[in-house]
Amino acid sequence: MRIRFQGLRLWRTGHQVDLVLDCDPSRELIDETGALKESGAPSTCTIDLTGMVLAPAFQDPHVHFRDPGQVEKEDMVTGCAAAAAGGYGQVLILPNTEPAMDGWARMDDGRTVIEYLQDFEGDLGRPLPVHYALCVAASKDRAGQVPSNPDDWRIYLPSGRASRTNPGAAAHPVLAISDDGSAVTDRTLEAVAKAARDAGLPILDHCEHHDSGFINEGPVSRQLGLPGVPASTELAIVQRDIDLARRTGTRVHLQHVSTAGAFQAIRQAKEEGLPVTCETAPHYLALCDEDVLRLGTMAKMNPPLRSRRDQEATLRAVADGTVDMIATDHAPHTADDKAGGLDKAPNGIIGLETAYAVCNQALVESGLISHRRLIELMSLAPADLLGTRVTRIEDMPREDSTIDLTGTDDAGLVILDPTGEWTVDADRFHSKARNTPFQDWKVRGQVRATIKDSDLVFSRIRADRVDWRQTHSREGRQVWTD
């Protein structure tokens, strides 16, 4: 099927273009409306999307797909489907799999997790709807005692990044190193930093460590009678890692930063010109620890939701450029897991399918940043961190304001409706999990379609925009218009 999406606005310039692509009928399409699966659908159609935005697909440097080890929570198929539905074209899978993705521990079939994920699409018999890369564990078994051995994962680095022994053939390369879920320990930090520098990888560090506590320390924790997690637990790791970057030149990326003190330390590090970047997550922009009172375990995460003052500091840090990018920390859990109460339930929420809307509402609709800047935070900046491809739409050849993707394989794109209103309904998610704090939120900003390698992989094009009536025939082909 050949599709012409008509009247799109380019995300950076606002210029109007039509986008033409072939939709492979043999490829599985994640289609929420059925609009592009009508019986008797023709070979060519035109769909009016006037006013919607064409942008590079989002990239997420921080997801947990639980595969292998906890596939009752999520697996590669459902995780990638959720990513495509959220407008993502590339994700980085973090290493807290079971066994850990350290290049050494082996599964029951004898493969390491890296080998398993390299083989996954071949074993599945079809490509997944998003590109994915891997983050290797900083320590063996993620136990924080012995650094992982670069000899166990070096061959999976991108071509030319490490040594002559690297064939550069990995379909899903190792692009970062982390023990996420936990900070890299003091015991292993220097060795991990050397391995990262030698391999040309950034350390993605869980910039927070505590041995007790369930939610943010403050009036809410005291009201609930629960041990709290002080903000200082984040600042301590941030300051340690900034010192590492200062002493050694190691590239350090600080994950899910959430406190005013940590953001101030990062500002100062950037003023020094240190190789330090940071991310925050949608939930730290939209929520604070007061929301735990009504949301319960759906608002339990690590780092915990912080005070309203910290939430406001997070918003300011995005507005002033201290925050380099937005990542979801997509962390699926079962309903039974989250039913255990704040003292027993695991940390984490899912975020891929709500990230754009929540960020659009918290940042763009509020007037803090432009929509263009939001795209940079969710697409260009993560690509720059990881060295992944990003589609430069403005550089793509076009004729008569038409971008034709036919025959190309370097186009990860998303079509966005910044003013589209919808209500979050977790029962309609593509993820296996339902652990979202945004259930029943009325939000503005919707992903309408996601394109991977010039092929439509996700569609939320409403049926009322596609009228399958035949209008005329041209050169022996049927032409269908909205």
What is the chain's pLDDT, residue by residue, as a tens digit (482 residues)? Answer: 789 999 999 999 999 999 999 877 666 778 777 667 654 555 678 899 999 999 999 999 999 999 999 999 999 999 999 999 999 999 999 999 999 999 999 999 999 999 999 999 999 999 999 999 999 999 999 999 999 999 999 999 997 565 445 555 689 999 999 999 999 999 999 999 999 999 999 999 999 999 999 999 999 999 999 999 999 999 999 999 999 999 999 999 999 999 999 999 999 999 999 999 999 999 999 999 999 999 999 999 999 999 999 999 999 999 999 999 999 999 999 999 999 899 999 999 999 999 999 999 999 999 999 999 999 999 999 999 999 999 988 888 787 899 988 777 777 999 999 999 999 999 999 999 999 999 999 999 999 999 999 899 999 987 555 544 443 332 332 222 22
pLDDT (0 to 100) of residue 479 = 27
Secondary structure in 3-state letters for 414-473: EEEEEEEEEECCHHHCCCCCCCCCCCCCEEEEEEEEEEECCEEEEECCCHHHCCCCEEEE
Q: Look at the chain and count its residues.
A: 482
Calculate the alpha carbon distances from 12 to 69, 94, 361, 370, 373 in Å: 41, 31, 19, 11, 9
pLDDT tens digits for 242-281?
999 999 999 999 999 999 999 999 999 999 999 999 999 9
Reading the block at residue 149, the tokens are: 């051995």
Reading the block at residue 352, the tokens are: 């891929």
90 and 57 Cβ atoms separated by less than 8 Å: yes
406 within some domain:
no
pLDDT (0 to 100) of residue 338 = 97
444 and 361 Cβ atoms separated by less than 8 Å: yes
Query: Tokens 């043999």 identify what position?
Result: 26
Task: Note the pTM of the prediction, 2 decimals.
Answer: 0.94
What single-letter amino acid sits at 228?
A: G
363 within some domain:
yes
355 and 285 Cβ atoms separated by less than 8 Å: no
470 and 45 Cβ atoms separated by less than 8 Å: no
CB-count burial class (<10 Å; 0-12, 13-18, 19+) for 395: exposed
pLDDT (0 to 100) of residue 41 = 54
* Rounded Cα–Cα distance for residues 265 and 45 (Å): 53
174 and 216 Cβ atoms separated by less than 8 Å: no
How crowded is residue 222: how many other Cβ atoms within 10 Å of its Cβ?
A: 10
φ/ψ of residue 321, rounded to 5: 90, 0
* Rounded Cα–Cα distance for residues 482 and 464 (Å): 8
State how many domains the chain has.
1
pLDDT (0 to 100) of residue 463 = 57
pLDDT (0 to 100) of residue 217 = 98
Reading the block at residue 157, the tokens are: 């680095």
Q: What angle do CA 213, 216, 219 make, to 5 degrees?
A: 110
152 within some domain:
yes
* Rounded Cα–Cα distance for residues 63 and 92 (Å): 6
5 within some domain:
no
268 within some domain:
yes
Range(s) of the domain holding residue 285: 57-386
pLDDT (0 to 100) of residue 464 = 55
Residue 417 three-state SS:
strand
* Rounded Cα–Cα distance for residues 221 and 312 (Å): 19
What is the enclosing helix (H) or strand (E) of 123? helix 113-124
Q: Cis peptide before 303, with omega less than 30 degrees from 0?
A: yes
64 and 91 Cβ atoms separated by less than 8 Å: no
48 within some domain:
no
Active-site annotation, residues? 329
pLDDT (0 to 100) of residue 26 = 63
CB-count burial class (<10 Å; 0-12, 13-18, 19+) for 96: buried
* Rounded Cα–Cα distance for residues 83 and 70 (Å): 18
What single-letter amino acid sits at 259?
A: T
Q: Nearest CA to 447 among 346, 377, 352? A: 352
| CATH code (residue 136) | 3.20.20.140
Reading the block at residue 270, the tokens are: 């950037």
360 and 374 Cβ atoms separated by less than 8 Å: yes
pLDDT (0 to 100) of residue 245 = 98
* Rounded Cα–Cα distance for residues 451 and 331 (Å): 24
